Amino acid sequence: MKQLQKAPIDEFKTHFRGEVLLPDNAVYDEVRHIWNAMIDRKPALVARCTSPEDVAHAVEFARKHNLIVSIRGGGHNIAGNAVCDGGLMIDLSLMKNVQVAPNVRQATVEPGCTLADFDKAAQVHGLATPLGINSTTGVAGLTLGGGFGWLSRKYGMTADNLLSADVVTADGRQVRASESENADLFWGLRGGGGNFGIVTSFQFQLHPVGPDVLSGLIVFPFDQAKSVLTQFAHFTKTMPDELNVWSVTRKAPPLPFLPENVHGKEIVALALCYAGDPAEGKKLLEPLRGFGTAHGEHIGVQPYCAWQQAFDPLLTPGARNYWKSHNFSQLNDDTIAVILEYAAKLPSPQCEIFIGTIGGQTARVAPGAMAYSSRDANYVMNVHGRWDSPAEDERCIAWAREFFTKSQPFASGGAYINFLTQEETDRIAFAYGATYNRLVELKKKYDPTNFFRMNQNIKPI
């Protein structure tokens, strides 16, 4: 850990309106811990910002003292880039204000907000923007990596709905990025991760959603999984943009609508959300029930915010998590066969293979329109390894890696940057594809010394 003298820290505090935590502070450990329990790093100090000016002061302090910097928004990133060893952790989690302008369907969101914070404020007005599926996820990291969820087929990626951003750059300047101001930076922020600066405010386009949506689960026995996934692959090719259906293969959690003898057994579940008139949605989802003989289902009209939080109990902080991910333009028989092979040998009750369906509006944006370029990705598959004990690390990680390797021949180009682990630096250029060289040039302009490098790093070389 880098040793800092008391005098410069005291001087920093005089210009910093937030809280500065050192390792002996009572809440230091609480703040440095993040969602993925596999990450255990100890910054030399933590700057808990309350304003863009705090962020700029923290950047200047780190530059002056040659400190490695990490930026924490929601602290949910699988790679654990929110926290560094021996450097300065810039913590934005106290900056949680959301302002909604319903007349123009826009929202201004600070970088410490979670999906739950954003959804709650927007849904007061029956509005939303596409976000993820776990309400404790941070809006900032999600957006900067592209972002997708239940509404993406209808309204695009999260980054597609970003209108502008206020940014603190590596030299401590505060700038605005939009289509009309610093347009090159705006291009890079929409998918380029935290490589170009620290966003202190996001402005989003909102859309009429809810406040109630038709949503829920249909759970089928695993011995019907081949038939279910094959029909899922066909159905999702032609379903309307308002409907989204995802698949999950895992061991059944103790859901109240499932028979007790199913709990803990392998299952395949279809999760769905219809962003339109529920009566129309009920007609559209009826074919799903014919995919097999279900163990049970729980589908109905419920608040959009409730559906956004439905998977939170399966994604609580404190577990050990390891992910591997591919994009797919289609799900063919070979892909489904590999999914079934590895779903049949899940190494932990919490492990799962999920296929998030996107396409629709996400595919109608030109690949070069912004840093996120994987517009041919109709499906994003996440091999989600999750377990509790370090003793299980080797077994669970091996399972995820083997599945990833065996399914790779069927994947399309690119990768979802938010799902890359800390070891996957060799996949960064592949993830961005055709936009990577432009991102390198942008990095040279806005961060030539690679000051922001605790991320899926785009090196300025």
Q: What is the DSSP string of 133-144?
A: S-TTSBHHHHHH
CATH of the domain at 144: 3.30.465.10
Residue 160's closest CA among 374, 354, 430? 374
Residue carrying the six token digits 């991102």: 439
- Which residue among 91, 120, 150 closes a domain? 91
pLDDT of residue 1: 42
Residue-number span of the structural domain to which 197 is assigned? 98-209+435-446
**Whole-angstrom Cα distance, residue 448 to residue 450?**
6
Q: Is residue 429 part of a domain?
A: no
Is 67 within 8 Å of 170 (Cβ atoms)?
no
**Whole-angstrom Cα distance, residue 308 to residue 165?**
24
Q: How many domains does the chain have?
A: 3
pTM score, two decimals?
0.96
Which helix (H) or strand (E) element contains residue 238? Answer: helix 225-238
CATH of the domain at 47: 3.30.43.10
How high is the mean pLDDT in each 10-residue block of the chain (461 residues)? 77 94 96 96 97 98 97 96 97 98 98 98 98 96 98 98 98 98 98 97 97 97 98 97 98 95 97 96 97 97 97 94 97 97 96 97 97 97 96 97 96 94 92 96 98 96 88
- Which residue among 27, 59, 91 closes a domain? 91
Q: Do 69 and 119 fall into the same domain? A: no
Is 132 within 8 Å of 149 (Cβ atoms)?
yes
Question: Could you please report the per-residue DSSP string of 261-291?
Answer: GGTTSEEEEEEEEE-S-HHHHHHHHHHHHTT
**Whole-angstrom Cα distance, residue 415 to residue 101?**
34
Q: Do 322 and 237 fall into the same domain? A: yes
Q: Is residue 187 part of a domain?
A: yes
Q: Is residue 428 part of a domain?
A: no
Q: Do 355 and 379 fall into the same domain? A: yes
Q: Do 156 and 280 fall into the same domain? A: no
Is 297 within 8 Å of 228 (Cβ atoms)?
no
**Whole-angstrom Cα distance, residue 147 to residue 127?**
18
Q: Do 148 and 24 fall into the same domain? A: no
Q: Do 199 and 228 fall into the same domain? A: no
Residue 89's closest CA among 97, 98, 80? 80
Q: Is residue 430 part of a domain?
A: no
Q: Do 269 and 141 fall into the same domain? A: no
pLDDT of residue 5: 83
Q: Is residue 413 part of a domain?
A: yes
pLDDT of residue 6: 87
pLDDT of residue 2: 52
**Whole-angstrom Cα distance, residue 119 to residue 113?**
10
Question: Could you please report the per-residue DSSP string of 335-380?
Answer: HHHHHHHHHTT-SSTT-EEEEEE--GGGGGS-TTSSS---TT-SEE
Token reading at 436: 């990577």
Q: Is residue 454 part of a domain?
A: no
Which residues face 383 on adjacent strands?
Answer: 324, 353
Q: Do 76 and 125 fall into the same domain? A: no
Is 50 within 8 Å of 18 (Cβ atoms)?
yes
Q: Do 164 and 249 fall into the same domain? A: no
Q: Do 251 and 354 fall into the same domain? A: yes
Q: Do 160 and 221 fall into the same domain? A: no
- Which residue among 34, 63, 91 closes a domain? 91
CATH of the domain at 250: 3.40.462.20
**Whole-angstrom Cα distance, residue 255 to residue 374?**
35
Q: Is residue 54 part of a domain?
A: yes
Token reading at 258: 């499932």
Q: Is residue 282 part of a domain?
A: yes
pLDDT of residue 374: 96
Q: Do 145 and 186 fall into the same domain? A: yes
